Amino acid sequence: MVSPLKTRSGTASATDATQHNTEAMSNTVTDLRPKPTLKAPAIDPTRPGRSADELADAPAKINVADVDFYYGAKQALFGIDLVVPERCVTAFIGPSGCGKSTLLRCMNRMNDMIDESSVKGSITLDGQDIYGPRVDVVELRKRVGMVFQKSNPFPKSIFDNIAYGPRVAGERNKARLYEITERCLRHSALWEEVKDRLDDSALALSGGQQQRLCIARALATEPQVLLMDEPASALDPASTSRIEDLIFELKDQYTIVIVTHNMQQAARVSDQTAFFFEGKLIEAGTTTDVFTNPTKKQTEDYITGRFG
Ligand SMILES: Nc1ncnc2c1ncn2[C@@H]1O[C@H](COP(=O)(O)OP(=O)(O)OP(=O)(O)O)[C@@H](O)[C@H]1O
């Protein structure tokens, strides 16, 4: 079912578009090309996102306040304020280079690894400043796990990929490591496919399976937050759909922030959507509101495909 976008001039419909095209064709001989039908992505009614009240009632897992970010002298984020509600999926959308990944990487201090980068403002996790002087960054990244665009399994067995994080954390008990492996593979919907070949190389898995393995590996350190940077952009439609189902299931236990170029995907999986443009947060709200009734013209133009 399609949720039509309420534009400032009314609700767009296919009939309007057809009429518009017909008029355009009869009025001019030079522009005979059909006008593109601009339509915002549909919200899936079988998988409703959390309501505005539910989002407002959810505790703030991450709170971003007045954040600026610089790569050397180049400013990439400008005064970002955003609340990431607990056990919800927040999607970052916006055109290439608008700062989505930069903000995502600020949330577990992955940007610390970039020379001459600096951040101003505050980001808290459960109320604690993650840039505070006493923060253990390794601990932070255990609590705030990350899954990247390109699956990056270690050249080790499936089992060793999952057991890696717990081993680094000091777990040596083999039975306990198997327990963790099974739990994480079940959570990432991969267990049934690999349970009989845990000692096989992870590199022998398909692309979609490798990405689910990377999600399982991220879950093995028992994070509370999962940051996903375009986790399905390199996958075929069937694997993408499995990752989206998985995100939907995981949000009951984890707070998820996903960067995506795919607006349909944002509409399908997220509860809250934040739209960025040129390093600024233009608007954030329930995914239903942002995709059906955006408050800013730039958001409307982007989600209806007028630019980006
Ligand atoms: N390591 C870096 N050094 C310098 N500039 C960077 C670096 N990484 C990103 N940038 C710049 O910061 C800005 C924001 O980049 P970022 O990757 O956050 O955007 P994005 O919205 O995630 O883009 P995309 O959708 O293309 O991945 C861009 O102008 C980019 O060129």
pLDDT tens-place string over residues 38-58: 566 666 666 677 888 998 999
Residue 235: its pLDDT value, please? 82
What H or E segment, with its residue span, contains residue 147? Answer: strand 144-147
pLDDT above 50 (res 20): no
Cβ-count burial 49-81 (b if 16+ within 10 Å, e if not): bbeeeebeebebbbbbeebebbeeeeebbeebe
Any domain includes 297: yes
Q: Does ligand 1 lie within 6 Å of residue 70's CB atom? A: no
Closest-CA residue, ligand 1 atom 7, reads 71
Identify any residues that bridge with 273 across adjacent strands, giving them in sequence order: 91, 285
Q: How many domains does the chain have?
A: 1
Q: Does ligand 1 lie within 6 Å of residue 113's CB atom? A: no
- Which amino acid makes up residue 303? I
pLDDT band at 118, cuts 50/70/90?
very high
What mean pLDDT do residues 27-32 have?
45
Q: Does ligand 1 lie within 6 Å of residue 101's CB atom? A: yes
What mean pLDDT do residues 11-19 have?
39
Q: Does ligand 1 lie within 6 Å of residue 71's CB atom? A: yes
pLDDT above 70 (res 31): no
Ligand 1 center from residue 100 Cα (angstroms): 8
Closest-CA residue, ligand 1 atom 8, reads 102
Under 8 Å between Cβ of 121 and 80: yes
Where do the H-state alpha helices sit in the chain? 14-27, 52-57, 100-106, 137-143, 158-168, 174-187, 191-194, 207-219, 237-250, 263-269, 287-292, 297-303
Any domain includes 296: yes
Residue-averaged pLDDT of the chain: 86
Residue 61: its pLDDT value, please? 97
Across 16-30, 37-51, 118-132, which has the greatest mean pLDDT?
Answer: 118-132
Residue 181, exposed/middle/buried by CB under 10 A (0-12, 13-18, 19+)? buried
Any domain includes 219: yes
**Residue-number span of the structural domain to which 161 is assigned:** 51-303
Any domain includes 17: no
Residue 51: its pLDDT value, please? 86
The ipTM estimated for the assembled molecules is 0.98
The backbone region for 107, taken as left when phi is positive above 0, alpha when psi lies in -120 to 50, beta otherwise, is alpha
pLDDT above 70 (res 137): yes
Atom of ligand 1 nearest to the CA of 104: 18
pLDDT above 60 (res 10): no
CATH of the domain at 174: 3.40.50.300
Q: Does ligand 1 lie within 6 Å of residue 114's CB atom? A: yes
